[in-house]
Amino acid sequence: MKRHQSGWSTTSVLAVIVIVAIATAAVTALLVNVFERKSEAKQPFLRLVEVTEDTTDPAEWGINFPTQYDSYLRTAESTRTRFGGHGGSEALPEQKIERDPWLKRMFLGYAFSIDYRDRRGHAYMLVDQEETARQTKPQTGSCLHCHASIMPLYRKLGDGDAMAGFEKSYQYSYKDLNAELHDMGHGHAVSCVDCHDPDTMALRVTRPGFIYGIQALAEGEAEVPHLPTVQKWREGSRAAPYDPNLDANRTEMRSYVCAQCHVEYYCANKMPLTFPWGDGLTADNVEKFWNDITFDDGQRFFDYKHAESGAEILKAQHPEFELWSQGIHARSGVACADCHMPYQREGASKASDHWVRSPLLNVNRACQTCHRVSEDEILSRVDAIQQRNFDLLQRGGAALMDLLDAVQKAKEEGATDEQLTQALELQRKAQWRLDFIAAENSMGFHAPQEAARVLGEAADYARQGQVAALSWRESGAVPVARQAEEPVSPVADD
Amino acid sequence: MSVGFLAVSVGIFLGIGAYTFLYAEGLSYLSDDPEVCVNCHIMQPQYDSWQKSSHHAVAVCVDCHLPHDFVGKYIAKADNGWHHSKGFTLQNFHEPIMIKEPNARILQDNCLACHEDLAHDLVVGVNGPADEVRCVHCHVTVGHGDTTGLGGPE
């Protein structure tokens, strides 16, 4: 073996060089890693393209905000929890009306009896609406308020004034308005611009239905302890209407952006889209609001006439914001986004998870930041709450079916509509409450005690209606439907 | 293959190593400054919430989270430093961050270091029974306010 003057063999020198090279490479890799972490913390995003009020394509925004956009894209994935969603590989989610036949009978006379499926993610909101079999019946342009990135179209309809354009939109058919939207190049599902100011990225609300609705809520007298800036506005000069974009705090905005759509509303062709919040946010408040409204033709408000009984029915949409408002999370200052879009860490920076989904699929970020117990424990608590709600809901459904059976029987025996007035009014009340909780997308979790209260009333009204229908011959003798004497507190301490 | 070349390689290694150490603010970890704990940003919520907590005026991070004796302190620093830098570099730690048993024992000791006169009838420190209730079981908000947290990456 050849030796250097210093006595090192070639092999030893080579071995040391290799070791030093590997060590140097490792230290350099560490240096670069430290550099990356430091850069992430310093610069959360890089504005590469300009986005404006008319940039409805989320892919454009995604160039500037890849982290948020990547998670937004995942709303196309199918997810399933025990009581919600769609985890199958089939093209469309399962039919709810086939799984729960009482839902189908409850909706007879309304397009939801044709097609009513489990939900899919935000990415599908427009295409699912275009493809639903409900479109075989004429639908109003109002639906696009929440199923598309609609603001440029509202501005066009209103010659630059979005609010004016919105006021007109209910008169158009869904098909015409949707075609116009696609022609303008804005045929996108909910997009970045709907909740973010393109210049500052600040959260903002855009939807006219919400802006009018929250103004009416502020001007009303209902207690809203979970919305402190509404209380503050009420105590102020009231010179200008409550403006969520100016008056609301950051926590409220993290719920308001969702409340632009995840709410109860009227959405048909007799009047503009209406959020019914003037009397407050509980099921009873909203029922009163609808009962006090008459259409232009003098008829009292209803969504459809029940095809079997003829009752004038109130259809509940999906009052997530309203039910959440009655619960302990709202009362404790927890916003929609805290659980449905929790912060996620990306290297050394943080961003809201834009894969909006059930917190049950994301327990460590959604729940465990506050609830310091194991994931299993959290899941089992939620499951208990939802199971109880589900059981009550099924009982309410059974009671409503018995009411409808009794009405059918009375009709066969020759009862007139007049003799059944009370039974049909009770059907309206029972069905409103049942649907309020059935259509709400949390299986009671957003406010468990309030949900149980509403379902308890639903079953009670359904049974009272059943008694009224069974005793139609003595219709004058049936006591008027009993209601609780005391107004119900707007926030349940559950 | 000359020894000169070897010397240069080793020199480069030492140079890059020293620079990396400085760039990563390695020396700062020898101090007691709370800002050092947010060098790597993961602890930002914990740091922010500590500033709003009742103990902000009387205790910094190391007062509660490291032993007070010199040897114990530097052993704990080295142990935590290794875990934290490994976790942050490889991005493979549990989130939300939760305190582990050895650190929870240090924490309990440090509660008693200040509050022993008040608490000596109630607890006997970490040498007590394993299932003994710890101070922060009830006094959970004293260090970091109500709650803090930050979810992990996908």
Q: What is the pLDDT of residues A45-59, one digit of tens each?
A: 788 999 999 999 999
CB contact under 8 A, A345 and B89: no
Picking from A143, A150, A91, A86, the residue whose alpha carbon sits closest to that of residue A120 is A86
Q: Which residue has the tokens 């894209």?
A: A73
Whether A344 sits inside 8 A of B151 (CB atoms) is: yes
| Closest Cβ–Cβ partner in B40, B148, B151 for A364 | B151
Q: How far apart are CA B60 and CA B52, in angstroms?
A: 12
Long-range contacts from A285-292, C-beta under 8 angstroms, 24+ separation? A285/A222, A285/A490, A286/A319, A286/A322, A286/A436, A287/A314, A287/A429, A287/A432, A290/A266, A290/A314
Distance between alpha carbon A265 and the CA centroid of its chain, in Å?
A: 12
pLDDT tens across the length of chain B (154 residues): 577 888 888 899 999 999 999 998 889 998 999 999 988 878 888 888 888 888 999 999 999 999 999 999 999 999 999 999 899 889 888 888 888 889 998 998 899 889 888 877 676 655 566 667 788 888 888 888 766 555 555 4
pLDDT score of A21: 87
Task: Find, in chain A, the residue whose alpha carbon is nearest to that of B97.
Answer: A369
pLDDT for residue A492: 44
**Interface probe, candidates A33, A251, A346, A357, chain B, greatest B C-beta count within 10 A:** A33
Residue B86 one-letter amino acid: K
Give the pLDDT confidence of A163-212 residue by residue, as tens digits: 999 999 999 999 999 999 999 999 999 999 999 999 999 999 999 999 99
Report chain B residues whose CB lies below 8 A from the CB of A345. Answer: 42, 95, 150-153
What residues are paired with A266 via a beta bridge? Answer: A274
DSSP, res B133:
P
**Is B153 near chain A, with CB under 8 Å?**
yes
**Nearest-CB residue to B1 (from A14, A27, A31):** A14
Pair A361, A81: CB distance under 8 Å: yes
Nearest CB to B96; choose among A4, A35, A364 = A364
Q: Are A455 and A390 in contact (CB under 8 A)?
A: no
Averaged pLDDT for residues A64-70: 92
Place of tokens 């990456």: B153
B6 touches chain A (CB under 8 A): yes
Residue A475 has pLDDT above 80, yes or no: no
The minimum CA-CA distance between A366 and chain B, rounded to whole Å, is 8
DSSP class per residue in A340-400: HS-EEEETTEEEE--S---GGGSHHHHTTTT--S-HHHHHHHHHHHHHHHHHHHHHHHHHH
Quick one: tokens of A104?
């189908």
SS3 call for B151: strand
Q: Do A366 and B20 touch (CB under 8 A)?
A: no
Which DSSP string do the residues of A290-348 spell out, in sequence order?
HHT-B-TTSPBP-SEE-TTT--EEPPP---HHHHHHTSHHHHTT--HHHHHS-EEEETT
B147 CB neighbours in chain A (<8 A) are: 369-370, 372
More confident of the two residues A138 and A283: A283
**SS3 category, B36:** helix
Interface of B with A in 101-130 (CB under 8 A): none
* A61 HSE (CA, 13 A, CB side): 27
pLDDT for the residue numbered A74: 92
Residues of chain A neighbouring B140 (CB-CB closer than 8 A)? 372
Tokens linked to A30: 């560490």
Determine, for residues A30 and B10 on separate chains, whether the beta-carbon distance falls below 8 Å: no
* Closest CA–CA distance from residue A191 to any residue of chain B (Å): 22
Which ipTM did the prediction report? Answer: 0.70
Residue A80 makes CB contacts below 8 A (sequence gap 6+) with: A86, A87, A88
pTM: 0.81
Chain B environment of A346 (Cβ under 8 Å): 153
Does B16 lie at the interface with A, CB-CB under 8 angstroms?
Answer: yes
Length of chain B: 154
Residue B23 neighbours by CB distance under 10 Å: 13
pLDDT of residue B130: 62
Which residues, in sequence order, are CB contacts of A209 under 8 Å at separation 6+? A145, A146, A166, A260, A265, A272, A273, A274, A275
Residue A3 bridge partners (DSSP): A9
Is B115 exposed, middle or buried, given 0-12, 13-18 or 19+ CB atoms closer than 10 A? middle
Q: What is the rounded distance in angstroms from the CA atom of residue A324 to the CA atom of residue A447? A: 6
Evaluate if residue A120 carries a pLDDT over 90: no
CA angle B120/B124/B129 to nearest 5° reads 150
Q: Which residues of A touch B12 (CB under 8 A)?
A: 24
Asked if B150's CB is within 8 angstroms of A27's CB, the reply is no
Rounded distance between C-alpha atoms, residue A466 and residue A405, angstroms: 8
The mean per-residue pLDDT over the stretch A359-379 comes to 90
Which residue, among A33, A34, A36, would best test binding to B if mutated, counting the most B CBs under 10 Å from its CB?
A: A34
CB contact under 8 A, A4 and B98: no
Instruction: Name all contacts of B107-110 with Cβ < 8 Å and 24+ positions apart.
Output: B107/B64, B107/B65, B107/B134, B107/B136, B108/B134, B108/B135, B108/B136, B109/B67, B110/B63, B110/B64, B110/B65, B110/B67, B110/B68
Distance in Å, alpha carbon of B41 to nearest chain A alpha carbon: 6
Q: Is the pLDDT of residue A77 over 90?
A: no
At A208 the pLDDT is 96
With contacts defined as CB-CB under 8 Å, which chain A residues touch B104? Answer: none
Chain A residue whose CA is closest to B95 = A364
Cross-chain residue pair B150–A350, CB shorter than 8 Å = yes
Per DSSP, the three-state class of A117 is: strand
Identify the bridge partners of residue A351 per DSSP, sorted by sequence position.
A344
Q: Is B10 on the interface with A (CB under 8 A)?
A: yes
Residues across chain A = 494
In this predicted structure, which of A43-47, A122-126, A234-238 has the lowest mean pLDDT?
A43-47
Q: Distance between CA A57 and CA A49 in Å, rounded?
A: 13
Q: Which of A216, A204, A223, A222 is nearest to A274 (CA)?
A: A216
- Which residues in B lie closer than 8 A to residue A2 (C-beta atoms)? none
Residue A467 and residue A465: Cα distance in Å, rounded? 5
> What's the start-to-end Cα distance of chain B, in Å?
48
pLDDT band at A95 (very low <50, low <70, confident <90, very high): confident
Helix spans in A198-243 (H):
208-219, 228-235
